[in-house]
Amino acid sequence: MSHSASAHTFQVDLRGLVDLLSHHLYSSPRVYLRELLQNSVDAITARRAADPGAPAAITVRTGGTLTITDTGIGLTEADVHRFLATIGRSSKRTADGGLDGAGLAAERGDFIGQFGIGLLACFVVADEITVVSRHAADPAAPAVEWRGHSDGRYTIRTLPAGSVPEPGTTVRLTPRADNAEWTTHARVVELARHYGSLLPHEVTVVDEDGGRLRIDEAPPWQRQHGSPLARREALTAYCRSVFDFTPLDTIELDLPAAGLRGVAYVLPTALSPAQRAGHRVHLKGMLLSDRASELLPDWAFFVRCVIDTTSLRPTASREALYEDGTLAAVRDALGVRIRDWLTGLAASDPALLHRFIDVHHLAVKALARYDDELLRIVLPWLPFETTDGNVTLEEFARTHRTVLVTRSVEEFRQVAPIASAAGLGVVNGGYTYDRDLVHRLPEIRPGTAVTDLDPATVTAHLDAVDPSAEIRAAAFLSVARETVAAHDCDVVLRDFQPVTAPVLLLDNREARHERTRSGLAADSDGLWADILGSLRSETPRAQLVLNHLNPLVRQAVTITERGLAVAAAESLLGQALLLSRRPLKANESTLLNRAFISLLTHAMHPGGAPSAPGTDEPRKEQ
């Protein structure tokens, strides 16, 4: 049994396609002018491939309608039928890289547009588009007019001889009422400057009164300057006009193999590493994106770039860079250039290096973790929080041959006053990258020892109290141990400096993990509780160390009344938690509230049985 098949052609709903472009492919209706400028630049490129001396000018006229005229290659009647009447077809796309339909041997890489849908973007702001074109290769060829409508209708007609005196193309838009703002003179000038300021051809915007405004200008890195200082000032002025800030420094970028030139500007203020900087990327002079965060490595968040390139590929919307091997290679090469600038500062401009590190030390720390050469140069300059204040590791290591590092900010807050009084050198390793970098200090400074801080190290520097004082405090210590045991904590009495520190909470990560495990096990049931129970360890509990030299503690250990002793023990534990300066958990906040209420109750009912908080009944002794 035979079956026959028939061929069919897709039917395209132009209104639906325009809606797709405006709401999903393009970020804003403003891209219509970029597409028009882009087509004009490509037409001029095609004409100059055969005639390098051909004029290169683009003129945009505003008024009731908007027109854009170029001195490019133009279109024949056959080209109009083939390209303007077929959605998605481009005169610049051929199998062998040549210019289809133009009869010119142009390289595909010379053109900006790639996808053959640029003219459709104009339907986002206009209901009618008129294209009048005269081909440059055949002087005898008549001019052709193509008139298209957003509902899919179009007409083509040949114009009388002499009606278009010069080769080239004029596109005229009749704006829609709901998008008329995009074709006003002020908006067109803004968009032309935004997209076309670095185009290599003359771009002029003409208002309805005939006033002319030149848009294009050579970027400062392509101009000749009288001196290095003048060049630097020009690059800085360009940063102010484009990014609206005065840079800390400028880094010129030049990758001839990638056809890339531009400038990286060092931000004068700190930026979070999670906040990706947007870079301005021009493709053959046309602005591709001003939010191209993928241009540089993640660690280089302290610079913003403006570049012009010929090798990077755009996405279909031509508003971002296509992620491929070329982009990855360019990103790595630019990262090397920025790193070289940074390492060169140590020798050429130490004062600028200090200013840069003051602002961007987090970025430098992120980079130094993976770059041995940079680590060697900048690690001695980086500031760290230590028991000697915010100092560089070089300064700190000169005073302390053994450098102790905490694992968390909380741990540093707990031990810093006591460690400082005991002469221990402790660095806060709780901040991002700090602990890893401090542990690499011996690579840069041989003879320096670095080790993680252990609570036992601090305990060893606390003096035992006189045995008679320990005996006198025994009753209070017994109640205190019983009280804080509910928080997986023990109580010890010691003498240590400074006298102003009444308590010290010594904790370690293993003890915290064990308490977390125990809490999860208590809240679980069945198999999961058994699994957590099997992981139980004999990790020592946290220690609440009372400073017997402190007047508050000396007074507290004399308390004999049990209720007041309980309140005092809870208050001391609460004070230790507050001194750690970490967020309090719900049960810790409850502990503080209960302790203060108990102390107030005892103060308001001296000599009698105080009422339990929230009741009118006397508190019963346990």
Integer CA distances (angstroms), 544 to 233, 463, 573, 599, in order: 61, 15, 7, 20
CA–CA separation, 14 and 294 (whole Å): 34
CA–CA separation, 116 and 93 (whole Å): 8
Q: What is the pTM assigned to this prediction?
A: 0.68
Question: How many residues in the chain?
Answer: 622
pLDDT digits (tens, 9 = 90+) for 259-282: 999 999 999 998 766 666 789 999
Q: Which residues have a Cβ under 8 Å from the Cβ of 453 and sit 6 or more positions away?
A: 404, 405, 406, 407, 411, 415, 419, 426
Q: Which two tokens stand for residue 522?
A: 């208590």
* CA count, 13 A, side-chain hemisphere, 338: 28
Other Cβ atoms within 10 Å of 269 Cβ, number: 9
Other Cβ atoms within 10 Å of 535 Cβ, number: 12
Residue 308's pLDDT is: 95
Residue 417's pLDDT is: 81
| Pairing verdict, β 426-427 and 402-405 | parallel
Residue 617: pLDDT band with limits 50, 70, 90 = very low
Most confident by average pLDDT, 94-98, 170-174, 518-522: 170-174
Buried b or exposed e, range 506-530, using 16+ CB within 10 angstroms: bbbeebbebbebeeebeeeeeeeee
- Is the pLDDT at 235 greater than 70? The verdict is yes
Of 386, 390, 381, 379, the closest CA to residue 402 belongs to 386
| Residue whose structure tokens are 């992981």 | 535
Residue 187's pLDDT is: 94
Q: Which two tokens stand for residue 475?
A: 């009753």
Residue-wise DSSP of 38-49: HHHHHHHHHHHH
- Is the pLDDT at 497 greater than 90? The verdict is no
Q: Which two tokens stand for residue 68?
A: 């854009």
CA–CA separation, 414 and 552 (whole Å): 18
CA–CA separation, 473 and 268 (whole Å): 58
Is residue 204 helix, strand or coil?
strand
As a whole number, mean pLDDT of residues 534-542 equals 56
Kindly report whether the peptide bond that precedes residue 175 is cis, defined as omega within 30 degrees of 0: no
pLDDT digits (tens, 9 = 90+) for 432-471: 889 999 999 998 888 899 999 877 777 777 888 888 988 9
pLDDT digits (tens, 9 = 90+) for 306-338: 999 998 988 876 777 888 999 999 999 999 999
| Residue whose structure tokens are 């849908």 | 117
CA–CA separation, 246 and 267 (whole Å): 8
Higher pLDDT, 171 or 444: 171
| Phi, psi of 510, rounded to the nearest 5 degrees | -65, -40
- Is the pLDDT at 577 greater than 80? The verdict is yes
Buried b or exposed e, range 482-493, using 16+ CB within 10 angstroms: ebbeebbbebbb
- Is the pLDDT at 622 greater than 50? The verdict is no
CA–CA separation, 291 and 298 (whole Å): 14
Alpha helices (runs of H) in 452-500, residue ranges in sequence order: 455-459, 467-472, 474-484
Residue 112's pLDDT is: 42
Residue 524's pLDDT is: 54
Q: Which residues have a Cβ under 8 Å from the Cβ of 570 and sit 6 or more positions away?
A: 483, 484, 591, 592, 594, 595, 598
Q: Which of 223-232, 403-412, 519-528, 544-553 has the lowest mean pLDDT?
A: 519-528
Residue 266's pLDDT is: 95
- In SS3 terms, 231-253 reads as HHHHHHHHHHHHHCCCCCEEEEE
Is residue 492 helix, strand or coil?
strand
| Phi, psi of 531, rounded to the nearest 5 degrees | -65, -45
Q: What is the number of H-type helices and E-type strands within the chain? A: 20, 22
CA–CA separation, 348 and 494 (whole Å): 53
By the 10 Å C-beta count (0-12 exposed, 13-18 middle, 19+ buried), 146 is classed as: buried
CA angle 256, 258, 259 (to 5 degrees): 60
By the 10 Å C-beta count (0-12 exposed, 13-18 middle, 19+ buried), 272 is classed as: exposed
Q: Which two tokens stand for residue 547?
A: 């400073």
- Is the pLDDT at 375 greater than 50? The verdict is yes
Mean predicted lDDT score pLDDT of the chain: 81
Integer CA distances (angstroms), 326 to 2, 243, 277, 306, 380, in order: 51, 26, 21, 18, 36
CA angle 121, 125, 130 (to 5 degrees): 75
Read off the amino acid at residue 120: L
Most confident by average pLDDT, 121-125, 460-464, 482-486, 610-614: 482-486
CA–CA separation, 601 and 536 (whole Å): 40
Residue 13: pLDDT band with limits 50, 70, 90 = low
Classify the C-alpha dihedral 389-392-395-400 as positive or negative: positive
Q: Tell me if 354 sits within 8 A of 423, measured CB to CB.
A: no
Q: Tell me if 93 sits within 8 A of 142, measured CB to CB.
A: no
Of 218, 223, 204, 200, the closest CA to residue 110 belongs to 200
Q: Which two tokens stand for residue 294?
A: 């993928």
| Cα 256 from chain centroid (whole Å) | 28
Residue 535's pLDDT is: 45
- Is the pLDDT at 55 greater than 50? The verdict is yes
Of 133, 132, 54, 119, the closest CA to residue 88 belongs to 119
